[in-house]
Amino acid sequence: MAYEVNGKAVTADEEGYIVNLADWSEPLAEIIAKSESLDLTENHWEVIRFLREYYNEFQIAPAVRVLTKAIGKKLGADKGNNKYLYDLFPYGPAKQACKIAGLPKPTGCI
Amino acid sequence: MSDIVAPPLSDYVPTPNLKPDAMKAVRPFKASPEHQAALGFPGTLVEDWQKVAIKRLGELVEGSRALRVFLDSCVKCGACTDKCHYFLGTADPRNMPVARQDLVRKVYRRYFTWAGRWFPWLVGAQDLTPDVLESWYTYYHQCSQCRRCSVFCPFGIDTAEISMAAREILDSVGVGQKYCNEILGKVHKIGNNLGLPEPALRNTLEGLEEDVKDQCGADVRFPVDVVGAEVLLITPSADFFAEPHIDGLIGYAKVFHQAGISWTVSSEASEAANFAMFIGSHEQMRKVAQRIREAAIALKVKRIVVGECGHAWRVAYSFWSTLIGPLDFLDPRYPQPQHICEVTKGLIARGALKLDPSANDDKVVTFHDSCNVARATRMGDRPGGQFTVPRSVIRSVCAHFVDMDPNTIGDKTFCCGGGGGLLTDDLMELRVKGALPRLSALNTVVQEHKVTHMAAICAICKTQFSKVLPYYGLPREMVISVHQLVGDAIVLGAKD
């Protein structure tokens, strides 16, 4: 499959994860989110930006615990939990947020 | 959540009215040529696939007397039909174990039995056509290799062996499943199913050390690659990454810490899972297991302990000695390998852990027996230890424990619905429907005994339940690790 951003096609795999990570852009994230029936708010963007920073350093998305801790530190303890992340990304913070952030899908027993 | 509708829960899961072809269109994504190549399989369907597939089937029945007996001996008595969670949840008659097996059996008859060669129409033998090959791909990816049907088969026919053989044949002609084969590639390249590189592993574990310190003030370590540690812990990489798994990992660390056992994980073998079993590839299974032997030797450990992973315990307990044995370089005074539940139970029995079960007083707990642990392994030194050891651990750390319907636990346990290499988003409909029998039994104890949590000792089960529970109106947080209960009950500082 492919997404269309400003008239340009961005290739994605059968599950909607983009193939070339360099193709990612903020407008693309909005488009991927829309295909997941999500409207991105500043709260979503906080998560997306953290995922991308972590990925740049470690070449993998952070463990959910690492993510909740980082969000808790940044936005307050009431937001540093799984429920907050599931409210933002109902299909699960690991997979759905990675897809929108343009990162590869985490695989395995997760 | 998508628009998949879960069947209704009831105290008794009825045998459904048949819906032929109900699940014909539900199939996982196929592996890309790159995923296939990494495992030495052809990238796409080979030209002479029919010849190759029949030859491979012949090699498999030559090499495994068990497989030949399983293919020869079915008398279609029907005892297995209503024992499969996928049949009960989907009503597709091809998900009756006997019918699913027959997709391979009729081809075996056609090419490898006298009657099938000469009178195929009399004995239900069939040519291997493109349609048959497609039906293998679809329906052998609707079997979680849980082996519940085998418990009820009067001949003991093991459906999982047939399903593994079918997937092996499919791989050999170039038709692999993306989920399993991509993951196996990551194990070879990076060391674990997740693709978690060493720096990320270290970063995650350091974070856990801080968390535990903040919570209870103790300096519990999560060591990586420590040469000379007593124990090498082999655990699913989901324990480093996912919820609720990670609280189980914290539990293991607290147990080792309080018992004064030095331990380490290995960055080279940071994965217990061995998905090669799911795809029926003996060669891959050996290769994946070999990493663990090498890591144990390099780190000069005395013991190997396996964390909460169902099929990994099967591979370790039942296959390691032939795959990577003998493990005679390890300390013979301990069972090798040993399950983390055995370790914890032994420590509790000799008073080495200071426990406060009231930490779990807010919970009423039940236990889900994972299929590979229940039907393919043992724990402790008595028959049935794989059932009693984890329950004994739970009872030691939790005052309120209730078992589910006896027909759904022990060796009759129902699969979570995501085992055997099917824990992938593209099979969500199958996973939701296949969870029906387990979640019906769970719902009954929720209603009757106010059960709040279901503990498990398998990463697949934990992920599957956290995904599918909401479809049935049950909270995802219900599923927890056995060692989360243990970790929460350990009083640190008291016996440090």
CATH number at residue A19: 1.10.10.370
Residue A41 has pLDDT above 70, yes or no: yes
pLDDT digits (tens, 9 = 90+) for B419-432: 999 999 999 999 99
Among A15, A65, A107, the residue with its CB nearest the CB of B194 is A107
Q: Is A98 a catalytic residue?
A: no
How far is the C-alpha of B177 from the C-alpha of B2, rounded, in Å?
A: 23
A26 inside domain: yes
The closest of A19, A51, A65, A103 to B206, measured between CA atoms, is: A65
The answer as to whether A107 is a domain residue is no
CATH 1.10.1060 residue ranges of chain B are 33-183
A105: nearest CA partner in chain B:
B194
Of B322, B108, B246, B158, residue with least CA distance to A110: B246
How many CB pairs below 8 A link A and B? 91
Half-sphere exposure of B150 (CA within 13 A, CB side): 21
- The pLDDT, as a whole number, for residue A94 is 86
Cβ-based burial of B316 (10 A; exposed 0-12, middle 13-18, buried ≥19): buried
* Cβ-defined contact of A108 to B203 (cutoff 8 Å): no
| CB atoms near residue B349 (< 10 Å) | 11
Provide the mean pLDDT of chain B.
Answer: 97
How near does any CA of chain A get to the CA of B21, in Å? Answer: 24
CB contact under 8 A, A58 and B195: no
pLDDT at A77 over 90: no
This model of the complex carries an ipTM of 0.96
Taking an 8 Å cut-off on Cβ atoms, the answer to whether B197 and A109 are in contact is no
Tally the domains of chain A: 1
pLDDT tens digits, residue range B345-381?
Answer: 999 999 999 999 999 999 999 999 999 999 999 999 9
Residue of A nearest to B426 (CA): A15
Residues 6+ apart with CB under 8 A from B235: B249, B252, B265, B272, B306, B307, B308, B309, B340
Of A95, A104, A109, the CB nearest to B238: A109
The pLDDT, as a whole number, for residue B494 is: 46
pLDDT of B2: 65
CB contact under 8 A, B241 and A108: yes
Q: Within a domain: residue A84?
A: yes
The span from the CA of B159 to the CA of B103, in Å, is: 12
Those residues of chain A whose CB sits closer than 8 Å to some CB in chain B are: 14-15, 57-60, 62-66, 69, 82, 86, 90-92, 94-95, 104, 106-110
Measured CA to CA, the distance from residue A60 to residue B194 in angstroms comes to 9
CA distances from B103 to B56, B58, B66, B80, B454 (A): 16, 16, 18, 16, 36
Q: What is the pLDDT along chain B (496 residues), one digit of tens a residue?
A: 568 999 999 988 999 999 999 999 999 999 999 999 999 999 999 999 999 999 999 999 999 999 999 999 999 999 999 999 999 999 999 999 999 999 999 999 999 999 999 999 999 999 999 999 999 999 999 999 999 999 999 999 999 999 999 999 999 999 999 999 999 999 999 999 999 999 999 999 999 999 999 999 999 999 999 999 999 999 999 999 999 999 999 999 999 999 999 999 999 999 999 999 999 999 999 999 999 999 999 999 999 999 999 999 999 999 999 999 999 999 999 999 999 999 999 999 999 999 999 999 999 999 999 999 999 999 999 999 999 999 999 999 999 999 999 999 999 999 999 999 999 999 999 999 999 999 999 999 999 999 999 999 999 999 999 999 999 999 999 999 999 999 999 999 744 4
Residue A2 confidence (pLDDT) above 70: yes
Task: Look at residue A102 and give its three-state secondary structure.
Answer: coil
Q: Residues with Cβ < 8 Å from B431, sequence gap 6 or more? A: B417, B418, B422, B423, B464, B467, B468
Q: What's the token pair of residue B377?
A: 């392994």
- Whole-model pTM: value is 0.97
pLDDT at position A107 over 70: yes
- Cα B165 from chain centroid (whole Å): 18
Residues of chain A contacting B267 with CB distance shorter than 8 Å: none
Is A106 in Cβ contact with B195 (below 8 Å)? yes
> Domain B33-183 has what CATH class?
mainly alpha
**Segments forming the whole domain that contains residue A80:** 2-100
Residues in B lying within 8 Å of A, measured between beta carbons: 1, 29, 179, 182-183, 186, 192-197, 199-200, 203-204, 207-208, 211, 236-238, 240-243, 245-246, 273, 309, 423, 425-426, 459-460, 462-463, 467, 476-477
CA dist., res. B286 & res. B234, Å (int) = 16
Q: Does residue A110 form part of some domain?
A: no
pLDDT at A74: 87
In a domain, residue A106? The reply is: no
**How many residues does this entry show for chain B?**
496
Q: Summarize pLDDT for B379-420 with one digit per residue, the tens.
A: 999 999 999 999 999 999 999 999 999 999 999 999 999 999
| Cα B428 from chain centroid (whole Å) | 17
Q: What is the 8-class DSSP label of residue A12?
A: B
- Neighbour tally for A36: CB within 10 Å: 13
Averaged confidence pLDDT in chain A? 94
Mean pLDDT value of segment A15-43 = 96
Contacts of B295 (CB under 8 A, 6+ apart): B232, B266, B268, B269
Amino acid at B34: E
